[in-house]
């Protein structure tokens, strides 16, 4: 038996056409073992936010999918010689132009629209249905699910992959629970404010060059002021036409999940109010912030660790499963790792409609610990950047921590994850067979 048991392939519904949903859709479609349909609630693919790092770990998956060269080209075109640099780190009184406390190598940064477009162009159009917002779903008697959309239409699938992100829930209405949560272990686990606000946007390269000079405008910079609970990151995107800027301000005084005041979660930023937070920064950096075109103010929410990513025929990937604060730039990249493990499991020769729940459990067992470790470590890295980690304000300790902080994330062996998931799945199948023989 295979996932193409009989003549019919497993029907896999992917709800959400963001970076993770589309990466998974493309991967599974390339393996050609399942029939996929992507249901995306918006009428056209789009992405908000300007830059994105596709980290080294995710690039290993994109390599398998044949996308890596294009991503490297886009990143290199944006940042030239700096395309292999995560960040030059500037701290305390050191201004851009002095000596950074350290430089961390290896990463790939691009415009989010370019990253999404890369996928949109490769997922066959007839497998994507736009303007379909999933409202609810029920398990069917014979396994699988029936989904109801807000336009009143219904569709059936053997597997429902929730790739609908965190934003869809909290941007719409904080009190509204994710559709899956009625049935999944996610029930009762709601996105929470991380204490962090991010001001984001793009500044044209010529303005960046006039503020920082050509060399620094093209470098990825991370600038943290001593003990002010804020930091700024910037890097070039869109073939060097723009510099992506994100300026973070954090509240670490009110616990892990401070209460959110109820204001909109994404809204246009008032530039003068934004600048008040960065009054101790050097004039060139303040000019960079002042030069952001249409800056947005984001409340950074995250998802507390879920007890499970899989239940029966339903499984979560990407931010829907493990939305994290962005300080390690790895939220989407973790979702791309999810795609690698899940697409391979669903293509396993023994994965059939009857055995799908066991395959999804194996996915959960492999992917949940690692992605939840990232959720915690990304938060801790935010504390490092803002001088409230154990390293405090000690430049040498901060530089030492920076040097290794991405190591476990980037060095992952993606095929070890896949093979471990295969083993768990195969063991659970043989346990099931033994049990069946014994009764
Ligand atoms: C400031 C900031 C910087 C970041 N930087 C990085 C970075 O550099 N690198 C990185 O890897 N990650 C980064 N992240 C995290 C990254 O943006 C997310 O992890 C990633 O976008 C999640 O992708 P996703 O596809 O899971 O979810 P989303 O991008 O949220 O996509 C979900 C999709 O589902 C659709 N949808 C929602 N509900 C429904 C429904 N009911 N029915 C149908 N469709 C639905 C939505 O319209 C959307 O298209 C950053 C995050 C922030 C906030």
Q: How far is the CA of 319 from the centre of ligand 1 (A)?
A: 6
CA dihedral 371, 318, 221, 108 (to 10 degrees): 100
Give the atom of ligand 1 at the shortest distance from the alpha carbon of 149: 42
Instruction: State yes or no: pLDDT of 188 exceeds 80.
Output: no
Across the chain, what does the average pLDDT equal? 88
Contact 328, 381 (CB under 8 A): yes
The 10s digit of each residue's pLDDT in 63-118 is 999 999 999 888 877 777 777 888 989 886 557 777 888 888 878 888 899 999 99
430: Cβ–Cβ under 8 A, 6 or more apart, which residues?
none
Domain ranges across the chain: 10-50+113-191+306-384+409-438, 75-111+192-302
Of 14, 41, 325, the one to substitute when testing ligand 1's pocket (max ligand atoms within 8 A of C-beta) is: 41
The CA distance from 23 to 12, in Å, is 14
pLDDT band at 167 (very low <50, low <70, confident <90, very high): low
The 10s digit of each residue's pLDDT in 254-310 is 989 999 998 998 999 999 999 999 988 888 889 999 999 899 999 999 998 888 889
Give the ranges where 227-279 is alpha helix by DSSP (H): 271-276
If residue 342 lies in a helix (H) or strand (E), which one and from where to where? helix 331-346
Mean pLDDT of 20-28: 98
Angle (CA) 414-164-63 rounded to 5° is: 25
Residue 128, beta-bridge partner list: 38
Angle (CA) 95-101-102 rounded to 5° is: 125
CATH class in words for 10-50+113-191+306-384+409-438:
alpha beta
Q: Whose CA is nearest to atom 15 of ligand 1?
A: 331
Q: How far is the CA of 20 from the centre of ligand 1 (A)?
A: 7
340: Cβ–Cβ under 8 A, 6 or more apart, which residues?
27, 61, 64, 414, 417, 418
The CA distance from 30 to 124, in Å, is 10
Instruction: Report the pLDDT value the prediction gives residue 6, as an integer from 0 to 100.
Output: 52
Residue 294 phi, psi dihedral angles, 5° rounding: 50, 60
Strand 266-268 vs strand 293-302: parallel, antiparallel, or unpaired?
antiparallel
Instruction: Indicate the pTM of the whole model.
Output: 0.92
Instruction: Please state which architecture CATH assigns to domain 75-111+192-302.
Output: 2-Layer Sandwich (3.30)
Label residue 369 exposed, middle or buried (CB < 10 Å: 0-12, 13-18, 19+): exposed
109: Cβ–Cβ under 8 A, 6 or more apart, which residues?
51, 52, 53, 54, 75, 78, 79, 83, 220, 235, 236, 237, 244
If residue 153 lies in a helix (H) or strand (E), which one and from where to where? none
Mean pLDDT of 143-148: 90
Give the atom of ligand 1 at the shortest distance from the alpha carbon of 20: 25
Contact 129, 40 (CB under 8 A): yes
Please tell me if the domain spanning 10-50+113-191+306-384+409-438 has the same topology as the one spanning 75-111+192-302.
Answer: no
Six token digits for residue 244: 């992506």
Instruction: Report the pLDDT value the prediction gives residue 186, as an integer from 0 to 100.
Output: 44
Instruction: State yes or no: pLDDT of 172 exceeds 50.
Output: no
Of 21, 51, 75, the one to substitute when testing ligand 1's pocket (max ligand atoms within 8 A of C-beta) is: 21
Instruction: Report the pLDDT value the prediction gives residue 83, as an integer from 0 to 100.
Output: 74
Give the atom of ligand 1 at the shortest distance from the alpha carbon of 200: 1
């Amino acid at each position: 038996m295979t996932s193409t048991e009989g003549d019919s392939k497993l029907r896999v519904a992917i709800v959400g056409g963001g970076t993770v949903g589309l990466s998974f859709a493309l991967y599974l479609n390339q393996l050609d073992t399942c029939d996929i349909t992507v249901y995306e609630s918006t009428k056209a693919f789009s992405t908000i936010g300007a830059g994105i790092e596709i980290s080294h770990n995710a690039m290993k998956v994109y390599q398998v999918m044949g996308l890596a060269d294009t991503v490297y080209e886009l990143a290199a075109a944006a940042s030239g010689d700096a395309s292999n640099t995560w960040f030059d780190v500037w701290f305390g009184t050191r201004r851009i132009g002095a000596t950074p406390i350290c430089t961390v190598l290896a990463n790939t940064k691009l415009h989010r629209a370019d990253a999404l477009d890369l996928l949109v162009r490769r997922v066959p159009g007839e497998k994507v249905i736009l303007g379909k917002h999933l409202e609810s779903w029920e398990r069917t008697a014979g396994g699988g699910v029936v989904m109801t959309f807000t336009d009143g239409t219904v569709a059936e699938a053997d597997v429902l992959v929730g790739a609908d992100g965190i934003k869809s829930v909290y941007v719409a209405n904080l009190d509204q629970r994710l559709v899956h949560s009625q049935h999944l272990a996610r029930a009762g686990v709601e996105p929470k404010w991380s204490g962090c606000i991010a001001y984001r946007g793009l500044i044209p390269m010529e303005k960046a060059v006039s503020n920082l000079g050509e060399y620094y405008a093209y470098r990825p910079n991370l600038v943290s002021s001593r003990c002010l609970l804020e930091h700024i990151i910037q890097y070039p995107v869109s073939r060097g036409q723009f510099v992506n800027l994100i300026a973070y301000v954090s509240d670490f005084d009110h616990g892990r999940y401070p209460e959110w005041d109820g204001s909109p979660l994404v809204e246009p930023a008032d530039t003068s109010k934004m600048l008040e937070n960065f009054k101790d920064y050097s004039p060139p950096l303040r000019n960079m912030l002042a030069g952001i075109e249409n800056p947005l103010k984001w409340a950074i929410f995250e998802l507390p660790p879920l007890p499970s990513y899989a239940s029966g025929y339903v499984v979560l990937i990407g931010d829907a499963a493990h939305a994290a604060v962005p300080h390690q730039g790895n939220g989407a990249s973790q979702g791309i790792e999810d795609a690698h493990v899940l697409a391979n499991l669903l293509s396993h020769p023994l994965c059939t409609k009857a055995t799908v729940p066991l395959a999804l459990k194996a996915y959960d067992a492999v992917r949940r610990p690692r992605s939840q470790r990232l959720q915690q470590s990304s938060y801790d890295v935010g504390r490092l950047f803002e001088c409230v980690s154990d390293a405090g304000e000690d430049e040498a300790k901060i530089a030492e921590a920076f040097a290794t902080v991405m190591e476990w994330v980037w060095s992952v062996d993606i095929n070890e994850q896949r093979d471990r998931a295969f083993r768990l799945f195969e063991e659970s199948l043989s346990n099931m067979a033994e049990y069946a023989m014994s009764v």
